[in-house]
Amino acid sequence: MGAKGYTLTEVLITVLILAVLASLAVPNFTKSMELGYRREATDMLSTVYTGERTRFFESGSYYFGAAAPLDGGDPNSEWRQIFTDNPNTGSTPVAFTVTGTATTFTVTATRDGSHSMTVNEQRQWCGDTSASSSPDSCFDAEWVVN
């Protein structure tokens, strides 16, 4: 009678193949996640920029208090001043804040407390004052996805 089942060698080879595949897949997954966070940050900064500009053209001043709800109130109330919902209520690990005055503003997206990107009322990304300023000028080594 022949024995049924797998030998130890067959099982070890299968585990080894799976380990090699996993070691290739995990870094690619991590890069994909970071790329998603970066794109979401860029999109939200553009959305808030547009909301701030719209508010300025309607009322003559920027709204610069959008960070957190007042006194535990509606988390969207302050963000609705710039025609958007609070992006900090989602599950993305990117925090968004707006600072400034009635005539200036800076929107900041911060990932993990260290990686950040900004856009201001002149649509200058991350302090790049050139005419071709774009979100690409924000991406330091931590935000770059190869």
pLDDT of residue 135: 78
Q: Give the start-end residues of each E strand in 42-114.
A: 94-100, 105-111
The position carrying tokens 């109130």 is: 73
- Classified as helix, coil or strand, 118 is strand
pLDDT at 65 over 70: no
DSSP annotation string for 15-55: HHHHHHHHHHHHHHHHHHHHHHHHHHHHHHHHHHHHHHHHH
Tens of pLDDT along 82-110?
888 888 887 888 888 888 888 998 998 88
Q: What's the whole-model pTM score?
A: 0.74
Domain ranges of the chain: 8-138
The SS3 call for residue 20 is helix
Longest CA pairwise span in the chain (Å): 90
